[in-house]
């Protein structure tokens, strides 16, 4: 089966996005042999920025042209940045175009011309300076797809992956002292439902096994080190199991991520940022991927930022972007078989 192309957004053109796309293309354009096929991709952004890096670029006018081009050049749906692009120096005048690239990518997937979106990094400050009102990609794409029909529990839920670890977040960028208030049974149960359904829909796992991380050390030691496990997390887990979701009671996070532990579950429900990000970055610092679950479309991204400090120096690594394209291909293929 020929897969529809993935749609890649360039991200902030002054960051490392163009460089990692250019470095990833020859790796992904080479037939992967025994590995699962990777969908070709088409880039939405300024083709001249990619060409300036020495990458072979060919302008296309429809994603349907991408597959024929991908083996010899990077297919680009050229949408120029309005202001000159200087690596390492983001320009708010280009931020509107950056948002337009994302919106156009989502539209192409909604219309069926693309199989998923892979987003290169954006920076909040220049986006906010241009009037962008979303915390980031995740929330923007969630709004862009809000009117699409979707069978299941709607996210967005952030999942970070590294090797065989899928770590899904109940809260993201919040202060630690806010967690007791924010880690509610409703939030935990909604995230677990999204993850359970995504494991089936996006990963082809018929009977997903979820592990729930505890909030307190030693899972609270029966109330001696906190009551959240007793009052919130265990009842939430019991309710989820009553719905048919295979999830553990809250488990101590310090013993949840080693090799033997990871073999016992397909995904873990983590309660706060560092609980998920520390094991992900420890397992594979360069190759982690951020995926958004619970959306009508597939969306992944590299698990790093714009790298303005190294942009233009030729030293950015494409590992995470390559992994993001591979994961998006796998998720899109799983959805296509349902």
Q: Which pLDDT belongs to residue 37? A: 64
Percent above pLDDT 90 for the chain: 94
Residue 33 has pLDDT above 70, yes or no: no
Does residue 288 carry a pLDDT above 90?
yes
pLDDT of residue 2: 61
Question: Who has greater pLDDT, 33 or 87?
Answer: 87
pLDDT attached to residue 32:
54
Residue 254 confidence (pLDDT) above 90: yes
Range from 35-44, 286-295, 311-320 carrying the lowest mean pLDDT = 35-44
Mean pLDDT rounded to a whole number for the chain: 95
Q: Which of 129, 300, 112, 130 minimizes the C-alpha distance to 203?
A: 300
Give 170-207 pLDDT, tens digit per residue: 999 899 999 999 999 999 999 999 999 999 999 999 99
Residue 120: is its pLDDT beyond 90?
A: yes
**Does residue 35 surpass a pLDDT of 50?**
no
Question: How much is the pLDDT for 31?
Answer: 66
- Look at residue 34 in the predicted model and tell me its pLDDT: 44
pLDDT one-digit tens code per residue, 76-96 = 999 999 999 999 999 999 999
Q: Is the pLDDT of residue 275 over 50?
A: yes
Share of the chain above pLDDT 70, in %: 97
Q: Is the pLDDT of residue 36 over 70?
A: no
Q: Buried b / exposed e across 237-246, counting CB within 10 Å, b at 16+? A: beebeeeebe
Of the candidates 146, 90, 136, the residue with the CA atom closest to the CA atom of residue 296 = 146
Task: Lay out the sheet containing 299-302: strands in order across.
Answer: 57-59, 74-78, 41-45, 6-9, 116-119, 299-302, 289-293, 157-162, 165-169, 267-270, 210-212
Res 3: pLDDT: 74
Using 50, 70 and 90 to split pLDDT, how confident is the model at 137? Answer: very high
Average pLDDT over residues 322-338: 94
């Amino acid at each position: 089966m020929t897969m529809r192309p993935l749609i890649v957004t360039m991200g902030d053109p002054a960051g490392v996005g163009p460089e990692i796309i250019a470095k990833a293309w020859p790796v992904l354009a080479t037939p992967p042999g025994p590995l699962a096929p990777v969908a070709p991709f088409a880039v939405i952004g300024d083709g001249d920025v990619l060409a300036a890096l020495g990458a072979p670029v060919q302008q296309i006018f429809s994603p349907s042209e991408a597959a024929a081009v991908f083996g010899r050049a990077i297919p680009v749906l050229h949408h120029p940045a309005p202001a000159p692009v200087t690596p390492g120096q983001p320009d708010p005048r280009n931020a509107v175009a950056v948002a337009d690239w994302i919106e156009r990518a989502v539209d192409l997937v909604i219309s069926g011309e693309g199989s998923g979106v892979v987003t290169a990094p954006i920076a909040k400050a220049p986006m906010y300076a241009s009037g962008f009102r979303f915390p980031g990609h995740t929330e923007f794409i969630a709004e862009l797809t809000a009117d699409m029909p979707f069978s299941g529990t709607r996210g967005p839920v952030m999942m970070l992956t590294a090797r065989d670890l899928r770590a899904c977040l109940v809260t993201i960028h919040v202060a630690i002292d806010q967690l007791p208030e924010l880690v509610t049974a409703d939030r935990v149960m909604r995230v677990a439902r999204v993850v359970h359904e995504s494991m089936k829909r996006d990963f082809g796992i018929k009977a997903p096994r979820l592990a729930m991380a505890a909030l307190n050390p030693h899972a609270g030691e029966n109330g001696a080190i906190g009551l959240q496990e007793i009052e919130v997390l265990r009842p939430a887990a019991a309710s989820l199991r009553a719905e048919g979701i295979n999830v553990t009671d809250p488990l101590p996070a310090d013993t949840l991520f080693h090799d033997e532990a990871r073999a016992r579950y397909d995904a873990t429900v983590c309660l706060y940022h560092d609980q998920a990000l520390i094991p992900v970055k420890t397992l594979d610092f360069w190759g982690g991927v951020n995926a958004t679950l619970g959306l009508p479309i597939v969306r992944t991204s590299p698990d790093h930022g714009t790298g303005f400090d190294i942009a233009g120096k030729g030293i950015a690594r494409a590992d995470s972007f390559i992994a993001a394209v591979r994961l998006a291909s796998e998720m899109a293929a799983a959805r296509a078989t349902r």
